[in-house]
Protein backbone atom coordinates (compact mmCIF):
# COMPACT_ATOMS: atom_id res chain seq x y z
CA UNK A 1 0.00 0.00 0.00
CA UNK A 2 1.07 3.58 -0.66
CA UNK A 3 2.29 5.44 2.42
CA UNK A 4 0.49 8.74 1.98
CA UNK A 5 2.98 10.52 4.24
CA UNK A 6 5.82 9.79 1.81
CA UNK A 7 4.22 11.44 -1.23
CA UNK A 8 5.22 14.82 -2.57
CA UNK A 9 2.71 17.61 -3.07
CA UNK A 10 2.96 17.15 -6.83
CA UNK A 11 2.09 13.47 -6.44
CA UNK A 12 -0.76 14.25 -4.04
CA UNK A 13 -2.40 16.70 -6.42
CA UNK A 14 -2.09 14.17 -9.25
CA UNK A 15 -3.61 11.49 -7.02
CA UNK A 16 -6.53 13.70 -6.06
CA UNK A 17 -7.18 14.42 -9.72
CA UNK A 18 -7.19 10.71 -10.57
CA UNK A 19 -9.18 9.72 -7.49
CA UNK A 20 -6.40 7.49 -6.13
CA UNK A 21 -6.85 8.91 -2.64
CA UNK A 22 -8.59 11.84 -0.97
CA UNK A 23 -7.52 14.96 0.94
CA UNK A 24 -9.21 13.57 4.05
CA UNK A 25 -7.18 10.36 3.93
CA UNK A 26 -3.97 12.30 3.38
CA UNK A 27 -4.70 14.82 6.12
CA UNK A 28 -5.53 12.09 8.63
CA UNK A 29 -2.28 10.29 7.80
CA UNK A 30 -0.25 13.51 8.16
CA UNK A 31 -1.91 14.39 11.47
CA UNK A 32 -1.34 10.90 12.83
CA UNK A 33 2.32 11.16 11.86
CA UNK A 34 2.61 14.61 13.46
CA UNK A 35 1.10 13.33 16.71
CA UNK A 36 3.40 10.30 16.69
CA UNK A 37 6.64 12.24 16.19
CA UNK A 38 5.81 15.13 18.50
CA UNK A 39 6.87 13.52 21.82
CA UNK A 40 10.26 12.58 20.36
CA UNK A 41 11.09 15.50 18.09
CA UNK A 42 9.03 18.45 19.37
CA UNK A 43 8.40 19.77 15.86
CA UNK A 44 5.13 21.54 16.66
CA UNK A 45 3.92 24.19 19.05
CA UNK A 46 0.33 23.59 17.97
CA UNK A 47 -1.60 21.10 15.86
CA UNK A 48 -4.87 22.23 14.31
CA UNK A 49 -6.43 18.84 13.67
CA UNK A 50 -10.15 19.59 13.57
CA UNK A 51 -9.67 22.68 11.43
CA UNK A 52 -7.39 20.73 9.10
CA UNK A 53 -9.91 17.93 8.67
CA UNK A 54 -12.66 20.45 8.00
CA UNK A 55 -10.60 22.06 5.24
CA UNK A 56 -9.74 18.60 3.90
CA UNK A 57 -13.42 17.60 3.72
CA UNK A 58 -14.26 20.74 1.78
CA UNK A 59 -11.31 20.10 -0.52
CA UNK A 60 -12.46 16.52 -1.06
CA UNK A 61 -15.87 17.76 -2.17
CA UNK A 62 -14.28 20.19 -4.63
CA UNK A 63 -12.16 17.42 -6.13
CA UNK A 64 -15.23 15.17 -6.32
CA UNK A 65 -16.95 17.86 -8.39
CA UNK A 66 -13.84 18.24 -10.54
CA UNK A 67 -13.47 21.84 -9.38
CA UNK A 68 -10.27 22.14 -7.30
CA UNK A 69 -9.95 25.47 -5.55
CA UNK A 70 -6.29 26.04 -6.33
CA UNK A 71 -2.95 24.49 -7.16
CA UNK A 72 -2.46 23.05 -3.67
CA UNK A 73 -6.04 22.09 -2.90
CA UNK A 74 -6.02 19.47 -0.15
CA UNK A 75 -2.23 19.40 0.33
CA UNK A 76 -1.09 19.45 4.00
CA UNK A 77 1.25 22.26 4.96
CA UNK A 78 2.81 23.54 8.18
CA UNK A 79 3.58 27.13 9.15
CA UNK A 80 6.55 28.27 11.23
CA UNK A 81 5.36 30.05 14.37
CA UNK A 82 6.96 33.29 13.20
CA UNK A 83 4.30 33.81 10.51
CA UNK A 84 0.76 34.92 11.24
CA UNK A 85 -2.01 32.36 10.73
CA UNK A 86 -5.57 33.49 11.15
CA UNK A 87 -7.36 32.14 14.19
CA UNK A 88 -4.24 30.92 16.00
CA UNK A 89 -1.64 32.63 18.21
CA UNK A 90 1.78 33.39 16.75
CA UNK A 91 4.03 33.34 19.80
CA UNK A 92 7.39 33.45 17.99
CA UNK A 93 8.89 30.99 20.44
CA UNK A 94 8.65 33.54 23.24
CA UNK A 95 7.10 33.65 26.69
CA UNK A 96 7.06 37.43 26.26
CA UNK A 97 4.29 37.24 23.63
CA UNK A 98 0.74 37.01 24.93
CA UNK A 99 -1.47 34.37 23.29
CA UNK A 100 -4.49 36.62 23.73
CA UNK A 101 -6.12 37.55 20.45
CA UNK A 102 -7.62 38.48 18.30
CA UNK A 103 -5.45 36.72 15.72
CA UNK A 104 -7.39 37.83 12.64
CA UNK A 105 -4.81 38.06 9.88
CA UNK A 106 -2.73 35.72 7.72
CA UNK A 107 0.81 36.54 6.66
CA UNK A 108 0.94 36.99 2.87
CA UNK A 109 2.44 33.54 2.25
CA UNK A 110 -0.16 31.91 4.48
CA UNK A 111 -2.93 33.83 2.74
CA UNK A 112 -1.79 32.61 -0.68
CA UNK A 113 -1.71 28.99 0.55
CA UNK A 114 -5.19 29.39 2.01
CA UNK A 115 -6.46 30.80 -1.29
CA UNK A 116 -5.09 27.74 -3.09
CA UNK A 117 -6.84 25.29 -0.78
CA UNK A 118 -3.89 24.09 1.31
CA UNK A 119 -4.68 22.26 4.54
CA UNK A 120 -2.92 23.72 7.60
CA UNK A 121 -1.74 21.03 10.02
CA UNK A 122 -0.32 23.40 12.62
CA UNK A 123 2.46 25.77 13.68
CA UNK A 124 6.06 24.56 13.92
CA UNK A 125 8.72 25.34 16.50
CA UNK A 126 11.24 28.17 16.33
CA UNK A 127 13.86 29.61 18.67
CA UNK A 128 12.75 32.86 20.22
CA UNK A 129 12.04 35.36 17.41
CA UNK A 130 14.06 33.09 15.09
CA UNK A 131 17.31 34.52 16.43
CA UNK A 132 19.69 31.55 16.08
CA UNK A 133 20.60 28.58 13.88
CA UNK A 134 19.21 25.88 16.18
CA UNK A 135 15.69 25.39 17.51
CA UNK A 136 15.13 25.59 21.25
CA UNK A 137 13.39 28.19 23.36
CA UNK A 138 12.22 28.81 26.93
CA UNK A 139 8.64 28.55 25.64
CA UNK A 140 8.68 25.29 23.68
CA UNK A 141 11.87 23.46 24.62
CA UNK A 142 14.28 21.63 22.30
CA UNK A 143 13.48 20.42 18.78
CA UNK A 144 15.39 17.31 17.76
CA UNK A 145 16.79 15.80 14.58
CA UNK A 146 14.63 13.16 12.86
CA UNK A 147 17.72 11.07 12.02
CA UNK A 148 19.11 11.11 15.56
CA UNK A 149 17.04 12.73 18.32
CA UNK A 150 20.15 13.39 20.37
CA UNK A 151 21.17 15.90 17.66
CA UNK A 152 19.75 19.28 16.72
CA UNK A 153 17.31 19.75 13.85
CA UNK A 154 19.01 23.07 13.10
CA UNK A 155 17.15 26.35 12.99
CA UNK A 156 15.57 28.60 13.13
CA UNK A 157 12.97 26.68 11.06
CA UNK A 158 13.85 23.47 12.89
CA UNK A 159 10.31 22.29 13.52
CA UNK A 160 9.49 22.71 9.85
CA UNK A 161 12.53 20.67 8.80
CA UNK A 162 11.77 17.84 11.22
CA UNK A 163 8.10 17.76 10.20
CA UNK A 164 8.79 17.45 6.48
CA UNK A 165 11.55 14.88 7.01
CA UNK A 166 9.24 12.66 9.04
CA UNK A 167 6.19 12.95 6.78
CA UNK A 168 4.08 15.40 8.80
CA UNK A 169 3.09 17.26 5.66
CA UNK A 170 5.09 17.53 2.42
CA UNK A 171 5.23 21.34 2.48
CA UNK A 172 6.36 23.79 5.16
CA UNK A 173 6.73 27.54 5.35
CA UNK A 174 9.99 28.67 6.92
CA UNK A 175 11.82 31.95 7.34
CA UNK A 176 15.51 32.59 6.66
CA UNK A 177 17.45 35.58 8.00
CA UNK A 178 20.91 34.00 8.02
CA UNK A 179 20.29 30.42 6.92
CA UNK A 180 17.17 29.51 8.87
CA UNK A 181 15.53 27.58 6.01
CA UNK A 182 18.72 26.05 4.64
CA UNK A 183 20.35 25.05 7.95
CA UNK A 184 17.51 22.78 9.18
CA UNK A 185 16.82 21.52 5.66
CA UNK A 186 20.45 20.43 5.41
CA UNK A 187 20.55 18.86 8.88
CA UNK A 188 17.21 17.07 8.33
CA UNK A 189 17.91 15.87 4.78
CA UNK A 190 15.23 17.77 2.84
CA UNK A 191 15.08 20.54 0.24
CA UNK A 192 15.00 24.17 1.37
CA UNK A 193 14.89 27.36 -0.69
CA UNK A 194 15.59 30.94 0.34
CA UNK A 195 14.10 32.89 -2.57
CA UNK A 196 15.35 36.26 -3.75
CA UNK A 197 14.46 38.84 -1.13
CA UNK A 198 10.95 40.18 -1.77
CA UNK A 199 9.87 37.31 -4.02
CA UNK A 200 7.72 36.05 -1.14
CA UNK A 201 6.12 39.03 0.62
CA UNK A 202 6.48 39.30 4.39
CA UNK A 203 4.12 41.03 6.79
CA UNK A 204 4.50 42.17 9.49
CA UNK A 205 7.99 43.30 8.59
CA UNK A 206 10.79 41.49 10.39
CA UNK A 207 12.77 43.33 13.05
CA UNK A 208 15.79 41.92 11.22
CA UNK A 209 14.84 43.99 8.20
CA UNK A 210 15.77 43.00 4.68
CA UNK A 211 17.87 40.05 5.84
CA UNK A 212 14.67 38.05 6.46
CA UNK A 213 13.23 35.90 3.67
CA UNK A 214 10.25 33.51 3.58
CA UNK A 215 10.74 30.23 1.74
CA UNK A 216 9.55 26.68 1.11
CA UNK A 217 10.85 23.57 2.86
CA UNK A 218 9.82 20.49 0.92
CA UNK A 219 10.54 16.91 -0.07
CA UNK A 220 12.07 17.92 -3.41
CA UNK A 221 12.69 20.84 -5.78
CA UNK A 222 9.54 20.29 -7.84
CA UNK A 223 7.41 20.78 -4.73
CA UNK A 224 9.33 23.96 -3.89
CA UNK A 225 8.77 25.32 -7.39
CA UNK A 226 5.06 24.62 -7.13
CA UNK A 227 4.91 26.24 -3.69
CA UNK A 228 6.87 29.28 -4.90
CA UNK A 229 4.45 29.69 -7.81
CA UNK A 230 1.71 30.03 -5.20
CA UNK A 231 3.37 32.16 -2.49
CA UNK A 232 5.67 34.23 -4.70
CA UNK A 233 3.06 36.79 -5.70
CA UNK A 234 2.81 40.46 -4.63
CA UNK A 235 1.00 41.62 -1.51
CA UNK A 236 0.28 45.29 -0.86
CA UNK A 237 1.18 44.97 2.82
CA UNK A 238 4.88 44.49 1.98
CA UNK A 239 6.26 47.67 0.41
CA UNK A 240 9.52 45.88 -0.45
CA UNK A 241 7.88 42.94 -2.25
CA UNK A 242 8.81 42.26 -5.85
CA UNK A 243 6.35 42.47 -8.72
CA UNK A 244 4.87 39.40 -10.38
CA UNK A 245 7.29 36.55 -11.12
CA UNK A 246 8.65 36.49 -14.68
CA UNK A 247 7.08 33.08 -15.31
CA UNK A 248 6.21 29.76 -13.75
CA UNK A 249 8.98 28.22 -11.68
CA UNK A 250 7.41 24.82 -12.23
CA UNK A 251 7.57 25.24 -16.00
CA UNK A 252 11.24 26.28 -15.78
CA UNK A 253 12.32 23.00 -14.17
CA UNK A 254 12.42 21.13 -17.49
CA UNK A 255 15.24 23.33 -18.82
CA UNK A 256 17.86 21.44 -16.80
CA UNK A 257 21.49 22.47 -16.38
CA UNK A 258 23.02 21.80 -19.80
CA UNK A 259 25.19 24.78 -20.71
CA UNK A 260 24.97 26.50 -17.32
CA UNK A 261 28.21 27.95 -15.98
CA UNK A 262 28.79 26.62 -12.46
CA UNK A 263 31.42 27.91 -10.04
CA UNK A 264 32.34 25.34 -7.40
CA UNK A 265 33.87 26.76 -4.22
CA UNK A 266 34.68 23.96 -1.74
CA UNK A 267 35.71 26.29 1.11
CA UNK A 268 35.31 29.92 -0.01
CA UNK A 269 38.98 30.10 -0.85
CA UNK A 270 40.20 28.23 2.19
CA UNK A 271 38.28 30.42 4.62
CA UNK A 272 36.14 27.51 5.91
CA UNK A 273 37.27 24.22 7.41
CA UNK A 274 34.89 21.62 5.95
CA UNK A 275 34.59 18.11 7.34
CA UNK A 276 35.92 15.49 4.90
CA UNK A 277 32.61 13.60 4.61
CA UNK A 278 30.81 16.83 3.77
CA UNK A 279 33.42 17.89 1.23
CA UNK A 280 33.36 14.49 -0.51
CA UNK A 281 29.56 14.34 -0.79
CA UNK A 282 29.33 17.87 -2.17
CA UNK A 283 32.10 17.22 -4.69
CA UNK A 284 30.24 14.15 -5.95
CA UNK A 285 27.14 16.29 -6.42
CA UNK A 286 29.12 18.85 -8.38
CA UNK A 287 30.59 16.12 -10.57
CA UNK A 288 27.06 14.98 -11.35
CA UNK A 289 26.15 18.50 -12.47
CA UNK A 290 29.07 18.34 -14.89
CA UNK A 291 27.88 14.96 -16.18
CA UNK A 292 24.46 16.52 -16.78
CA UNK A 293 26.00 19.13 -19.06
CA UNK A 294 26.94 22.05 -16.80
CA UNK A 295 30.32 23.74 -17.31
CA UNK A 296 31.96 23.48 -13.88
CA UNK A 297 34.93 25.56 -12.79
CA UNK A 298 36.51 25.31 -9.37
CA UNK A 299 36.82 28.92 -8.28
CA UNK A 300 35.92 31.17 -5.37
CA UNK A 301 33.83 34.33 -5.09
CA UNK A 302 35.93 37.34 -4.23
CA UNK A 303 34.98 38.18 -0.66
CA UNK A 304 36.18 37.73 2.88
CA UNK A 305 33.90 36.57 5.67
CA UNK A 306 31.35 39.38 6.29
CA UNK A 307 30.43 38.06 9.74
CA UNK A 308 31.16 41.30 11.59
CA UNK A 309 28.82 43.26 9.35
CA UNK A 310 26.19 40.54 9.63
CA UNK A 311 26.45 40.61 13.42
CA UNK A 312 25.98 44.37 13.46
CA UNK A 313 22.80 44.11 11.41
CA UNK A 314 21.50 40.95 13.09
CA UNK A 315 22.18 41.97 16.68
CA UNK A 316 20.72 45.42 16.00
CA UNK A 317 17.56 43.67 14.83
CA UNK A 318 17.48 41.65 18.03
CA UNK A 319 17.81 44.86 20.04
CA UNK A 320 14.90 46.31 18.10
CA UNK A 321 12.79 43.28 19.06
CA UNK A 322 13.56 43.79 22.73
CA UNK A 323 13.09 47.55 22.56
CA UNK A 324 9.36 46.96 22.23
CA UNK A 325 9.25 44.80 25.38
CA UNK A 326 8.80 45.84 28.99
CA UNK A 327 11.48 45.06 31.56
CA UNK A 328 9.63 42.02 32.93
CA UNK A 329 9.22 40.64 29.42
CA UNK A 330 12.93 40.99 28.70
CA UNK A 331 13.67 38.87 31.76
CA UNK A 332 11.72 36.04 30.12
CA UNK A 333 13.96 35.96 27.03
CA UNK A 334 16.41 33.21 26.09
CA UNK A 335 19.70 34.17 27.85
CA UNK A 336 21.56 33.98 24.53
CA UNK A 337 19.06 36.35 22.94
CA UNK A 338 19.40 38.75 25.87
CA UNK A 339 23.15 38.70 25.32
CA UNK A 340 22.96 39.65 21.63
CA UNK A 341 20.27 42.23 22.43
CA UNK A 342 22.76 43.92 24.74
CA UNK A 343 25.42 43.86 22.04
CA UNK A 344 23.06 45.20 19.41
CA UNK A 345 21.89 48.05 21.62
CA UNK A 346 25.46 49.35 21.90
CA UNK A 347 26.01 49.86 18.16
CA UNK A 348 25.93 53.43 16.91
CA UNK A 349 24.11 54.57 13.79
CA UNK A 350 27.47 55.04 12.10
CA UNK A 351 28.50 51.47 12.89
CA UNK A 352 25.20 50.24 11.47
CA UNK A 353 25.72 52.24 8.29
CA UNK A 354 29.27 50.94 7.99
CA UNK A 355 27.81 47.41 8.04
CA UNK A 356 25.38 48.47 5.31
CA UNK A 357 28.38 49.61 3.26
CA UNK A 358 29.97 46.16 3.66
CA UNK A 359 26.70 44.61 2.56
CA UNK A 360 26.46 46.80 -0.52
CA UNK A 361 30.03 46.00 -1.53
CA UNK A 362 29.39 42.29 -1.09
CA UNK A 363 26.31 42.61 -3.28
CA UNK A 364 28.35 44.39 -5.95
CA UNK A 365 31.01 41.68 -5.90
CA UNK A 366 28.45 38.90 -6.22
CA UNK A 367 26.67 40.77 -8.99
CA UNK A 368 29.90 40.88 -10.97
CA UNK A 369 30.65 37.26 -10.10
CA UNK A 370 27.36 36.15 -11.62
CA UNK A 371 28.15 37.91 -14.86
CA UNK A 372 30.65 35.08 -15.35
CA UNK A 373 28.82 32.24 -13.57
CA UNK A 374 25.16 31.26 -13.50
CA UNK A 375 25.47 29.33 -10.26
CA UNK A 376 27.75 29.11 -7.26
CA UNK A 377 27.97 25.76 -5.46
CA UNK A 378 29.33 25.31 -1.93
CA UNK A 379 28.56 23.00 0.96
CA UNK A 380 25.44 24.21 2.76
CA UNK A 381 27.21 23.76 6.09
CA UNK A 382 30.75 22.62 6.91
CA UNK A 383 29.45 20.14 9.50
CA UNK A 384 26.53 17.80 10.15
CA UNK A 385 24.06 18.01 13.02
CA UNK A 386 25.57 18.27 16.51
CA UNK A 387 24.09 17.77 19.98
CA UNK A 388 20.58 19.11 20.59
CA UNK A 389 20.08 22.01 22.97
CA UNK A 390 23.38 23.77 22.18
CA UNK A 391 23.94 26.86 20.02
CA UNK A 392 27.39 25.66 18.90
CA UNK A 393 29.05 22.23 18.79
CA UNK A 394 30.55 21.16 22.09
CA UNK A 395 34.29 21.75 22.22
CA UNK A 396 34.28 23.89 19.05
CA UNK A 397 35.41 27.04 20.82
CA UNK A 398 32.74 28.97 18.92
CA UNK A 399 30.54 31.51 20.69
CA UNK A 400 27.66 32.17 18.31
CA UNK A 401 25.80 30.11 15.68
CA UNK A 402 27.36 32.16 12.88
CA UNK A 403 30.66 30.41 13.60
CA UNK A 404 29.42 27.21 11.94
CA UNK A 405 27.19 28.74 9.20
CA UNK A 406 29.70 30.65 7.04
CA UNK A 407 28.13 29.50 3.75
CA UNK A 408 24.61 30.70 4.51
CA UNK A 409 24.45 34.22 6.00
CA UNK A 410 26.52 35.99 3.28
CA UNK A 411 23.67 35.41 0.84
CA UNK A 412 21.13 36.96 3.16
CA UNK A 413 23.28 40.07 3.06
CA UNK A 414 23.17 39.98 -0.76
CA UNK A 415 19.50 38.89 -0.96
CA UNK A 416 20.31 36.17 -3.51
CA UNK A 417 18.29 32.99 -4.01
CA UNK A 418 19.94 29.97 -2.41
CA UNK A 419 18.88 26.38 -1.80
CA UNK A 420 20.12 23.23 -0.16
CA UNK A 421 19.89 19.75 -1.70
CA UNK A 422 20.62 16.57 0.30
CA UNK A 423 23.56 14.78 -1.33
CA UNK A 424 24.68 12.15 1.15
CA UNK A 425 25.30 11.25 4.77
CA UNK A 426 28.29 11.15 7.06
CA UNK A 427 29.54 8.12 8.99
CA UNK A 428 26.79 8.60 11.59
CA UNK A 429 24.04 8.61 8.98
CA UNK A 430 23.46 12.37 9.30
CA UNK A 431 22.46 14.29 6.16
CA UNK A 432 24.79 16.52 4.14
CA UNK A 433 23.60 19.44 2.00
CA UNK A 434 24.86 20.95 -1.26
CA UNK A 435 24.28 24.70 -1.53
CA UNK A 436 23.17 26.34 -4.79
CA UNK A 437 23.30 30.14 -5.17
CA UNK A 438 22.26 32.28 -8.15
CA UNK A 439 22.11 35.98 -8.95
CA UNK A 440 19.21 37.98 -7.56
CA UNK A 441 15.94 37.26 -9.36
CA UNK A 442 17.26 33.99 -10.83
CA UNK A 443 15.40 31.63 -8.51
CA UNK A 444 14.63 29.61 -11.63
CA UNK A 445 18.30 28.65 -12.04
CA UNK A 446 18.57 27.40 -8.46
CA UNK A 447 15.41 25.33 -8.85
CA UNK A 448 16.46 23.99 -12.28
CA UNK A 449 19.80 22.76 -10.98
CA UNK A 450 18.25 21.22 -7.87
CA UNK A 451 15.55 19.51 -9.91
CA UNK A 452 18.14 18.15 -12.33
CA UNK A 453 19.95 16.55 -9.39
CA UNK A 454 16.71 15.02 -8.13
CA UNK A 455 15.87 13.71 -11.58
CA UNK A 456 19.33 12.18 -11.79
CA UNK A 457 18.84 10.44 -8.45
CA UNK A 458 21.60 12.35 -6.71
CA UNK A 459 19.80 13.60 -3.58
CA UNK A 460 20.19 11.15 -0.74
CA UNK A 461 17.43 11.65 1.83
CA UNK A 462 17.87 8.78 4.29
CA UNK A 463 14.70 7.51 5.90
CA UNK A 464 14.61 8.74 9.49
CA UNK A 465 14.29 6.17 12.22
CA UNK A 466 10.70 5.54 13.19
CA UNK A 467 9.16 6.73 9.90
Rounded (10°) CA dihedral 283, 287, 290, 291: -160
What is the distance between the alpha carbons of residues 416 and 391, in angstroms, rounded to a whole number?
Answer: 26
CB of 106 within 8 A of CB of 202? no
Q: Which residues contact 183 (CB under 8 A, 6 or more apart)?
A: 133, 154, 155, 156, 157, 380, 381, 405, 408
Q: What angle do CA 192, 187, 196 make, to 5 degrees?
A: 25
In the beta sheet, which residues pair with residue 438?
A: 375
Concerning whether 80 is annotated as a catalytic residue, the answer is yes
**Helix (H), strand (E) at residue 191:** strand 191-194
Selecting among 22, 59, 80, 137, the annotated active-site residue is 80
In this structure, what are the phi and psi dihedrals at residue 387, rounded to the nearest 5 degrees?
-60, 140
What is the distance between the alpha carbons of residues 81 and 244, in angstroms, rounded to a whole number?
Answer: 26
Q: What is the pLDDT along the chain (467 residues), one digit of tens a residue?
A: 789 999 999 999 999 999 999 999 999 999 999 999 999 999 999 999 999 999 999 999 999 999 999 999 999 999 999 999 999 999 999 999 999 989 999 999 999 999 999 999 999 999 999 999 999 999 999 999 999 999 999 999 999 999 999 999 999 999 999 999 999 999 999 999 999 999 999 999 999 999 999 999 999 999 999 999 999 999 999 999 999 999 999 999 999 999 999 999 999 999 999 999 999 999 999 999 999 999 999 999 999 999 999 999 999 999 999 999 999 999 999 999 999 999 999 999 999 999 999 999 999 999 999 999 999 999 999 999 999 999 999 999 999 999 999 999 999 999 999 999 999 999 999 999 999 999 999 999 999 999 999 999 988 666 675 65
Concerning whether 98 is annotated as a catalytic residue, the answer is no
Structural domains in the chain?
4-455 (3.90.1300.10)
3 state SS for 49-66: HHHHHHHHHHHHHHHHHC
Concerning whether 109 is annotated as a catalytic residue, the answer is no
Selecting among 59, 94, 157, 180, the annotated active-site residue is 180
CB of 458 within 8 A of CB of 423? yes
Selecting among 59, 94, 156, 186, the annotated active-site residue is 156
- The CA distances from residue 203 to 39, 230, 235, 255, 441, in Å, are 31, 16, 9, 33, 20
What is the distance between the alpha carbons of residues 388 and 149, in angstroms, rounded to a whole number?
Answer: 8
Q: Based on the number of CB atoms within 10 Å of its own CB, is 364 exposed (0-12), middle (13-18) or buried (19 or more)?
A: exposed
Helices (H) and strands (E) in the chain, counts: 15, 15
Q: What angle do CA 373, 377, 382 make, to 5 degrees?
A: 150
What is the distance between the alpha carbons of residues 192 and 218, in angstroms, rounded to a whole number?
Answer: 6
Amino acid sequence: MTDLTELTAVRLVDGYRKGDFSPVEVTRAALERAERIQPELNAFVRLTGEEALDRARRSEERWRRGEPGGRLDGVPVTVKDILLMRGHPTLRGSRAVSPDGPWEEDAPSVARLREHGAVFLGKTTTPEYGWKGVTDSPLSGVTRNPHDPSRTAGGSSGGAGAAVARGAGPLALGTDGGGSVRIPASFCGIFGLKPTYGRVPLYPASAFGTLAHVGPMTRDAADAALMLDVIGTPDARDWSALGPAPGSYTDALAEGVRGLRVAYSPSLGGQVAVRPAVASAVRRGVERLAELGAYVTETDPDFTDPVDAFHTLWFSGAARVAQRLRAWQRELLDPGLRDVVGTGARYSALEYLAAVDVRMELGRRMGRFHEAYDLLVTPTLPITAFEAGAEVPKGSGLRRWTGWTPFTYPFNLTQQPAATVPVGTDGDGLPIGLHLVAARHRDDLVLRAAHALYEAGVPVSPTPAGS
